[in-house]
């Protein structure tokens, strides 16, 4: 995810990070949402393996993420499961040394172990109040304005962004924070979605269970994400104009503008790719 002209990467090879062998950072007892920096430090190598070795992610435009202060990272959503968010967090952690806070859907609260893990990794249940609190704390906040519909789109509609919620635009205008668009290519193919088992998903507290050519046919083996080649590009920060008017109508217009901008970024990034698995 990068800004301006879409250069696919800052180097010819996947971005790699060095693991700090020093002492893990202490937990931050002041965090009101349960961030556990010690646990986050311990699981980081696993996410870096996925980033560097499994999906071989090439990152560009990371310099567009401000080094300090609040910012909204607005990304396209895909992949049936939220690996895209984890990889954006990993990229920013490695290249900008910032702990990205991410918003997740309320249904996760009903899955206690997952909810606890998300909170310890820096996640916060999606709500206007929580997002405002994070911005007041000066945090970078990652969100996906497509919501569940982004990860639930069928394979035939990959990389076609769903309509954006206007909530992020109102936040950006009211708090005067920059919006960094984040384009992700490669995640749409890790689980080629051919259907959704909504009744079964709701029975276990989820909106749906994904049906792919491999899952549930191959059981747990079919649940492994495919080792596609990913590209992430951070765009130049956008400032949303409120003009003193932060109504829903104005926010809706700004959300549409950001969606069009991000769709163009995603399309350009996708068009530069020659192979789903080799880039």
17 — pLDDT class (breaks 50, 70, 90): very low
Query: Which of 156-170, 227-241, 245-259, 261-275 is the least confident region?
Result: 245-259
Distance CA 106, CA 146 (A): 15
Burial bucket for residue 29 (CB in 10 Å: 0-12, 13-18, 19+)? exposed
pLDDT at res. 133: 97
Inter-CA distances, 217 with 83, 209, 211, 220, Å: 22, 13, 9, 9
pLDDT at res. 207: 66
pLDDT at res. 54: 98
pLDDT at res. 244: 57
**CB-based contacts of 170: which residues, under 8 Å, 6+ apart?**
246, 248, 251
Bridge partners, residue 195, by sequence: 211
Cis peptide before 190 (omega within 30 of 0): no
Please determine, for residue 14, whether its predicted confidence score (pLDDT) is greater than 60: no
- Please write the tens of the pLDDT for every residue from 47-83: 999 999 999 999 999 999 999 999 999 999 987 678 9
pLDDT at res. 247: 82
**CB-based contacts of 163: which residues, under 8 Å, 6+ apart?**
146, 149, 259
- Please write the tens of the pLDDT for every residue from 206-239: 666 667 776 666 676 767 899 999 999 999 999 9
Please determine, for residue 262, whether its predicted confidence score (pLDDT) is greater than 60: yes
Which residue is it, tokens 């702990």? 99
Please determine, for residue 24, whether its predicted confidence score (pLDDT) is greater than 60: no
Average pLDDT over residues 103-130: 93
pLDDT at res. 120: 96
Q: CB of 82 within 8 A of CB of 104? A: yes
Question: What mean pLDDT, rounded, does the chain reach?
Answer: 85
Query: Which of 10-19, 24-33, 182-191, 225-234 is the least confident region?
Result: 10-19
Domains of the chain: 37-190+225-272 (3.40.1130.10)
pLDDT at res. 218: 65
């Amino acid at each position: 995810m990068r800004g301006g002209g879409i250069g696919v990467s800052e180097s010819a090879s996947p971005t790699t990070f060095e693991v700090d062998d020093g002492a893990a950072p202490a937990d931050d007892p002041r965090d009101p949402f349960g961030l556990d920096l010690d646990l986050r430090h311990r699981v980081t190598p696993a996410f870096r393996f996925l980033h560097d070795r499994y999906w071989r992610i090439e990152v560009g435009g990371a310099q567009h993420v401000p080094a300090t202060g609040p910012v909204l990272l607005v990304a396209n959503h895909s992949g049936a499961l939220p690996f895209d968010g984890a990889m954006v967090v990993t990229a920013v952690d490695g290249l900008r040394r910032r702990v990205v806070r991410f918003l997740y859907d309320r249904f996760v609260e009903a899955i206690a172990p997952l909810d606890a893990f998300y909170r310890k990794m820096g996640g916060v249940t999606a709500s206007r109040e929580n997002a405002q609190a994070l911005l007041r704390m000066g945090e970078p906040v990652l969100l996906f304005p497509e919501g569940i519909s982004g990860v639930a789109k069928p394979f035939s509609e990959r990389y076609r962004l769903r309509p954006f919620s206007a909530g992020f635009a109102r936040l950006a205008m009211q708090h005067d924070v920059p919006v960094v668009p984040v384009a992700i290519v490669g995640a749409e193919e890790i689980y080629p979605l051919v259907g959704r088992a909504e009744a079964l998903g709701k029975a276990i507290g989820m909106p749906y269970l994904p049906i792919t050519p491999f899952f549930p046919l191959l059981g747990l083996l079919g649940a492994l994400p495919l080792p596609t080649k990913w590209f992430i590009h951070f765009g130049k920060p956008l400032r949303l104009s409120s003009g003193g008017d932060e109504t829903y109508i104005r926010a809706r217009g700004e959300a549409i503008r950001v969606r069009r901008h991000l769709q163009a970024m995603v399309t350009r990034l996708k068009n530069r790719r020659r192979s789903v698995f080799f880039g």
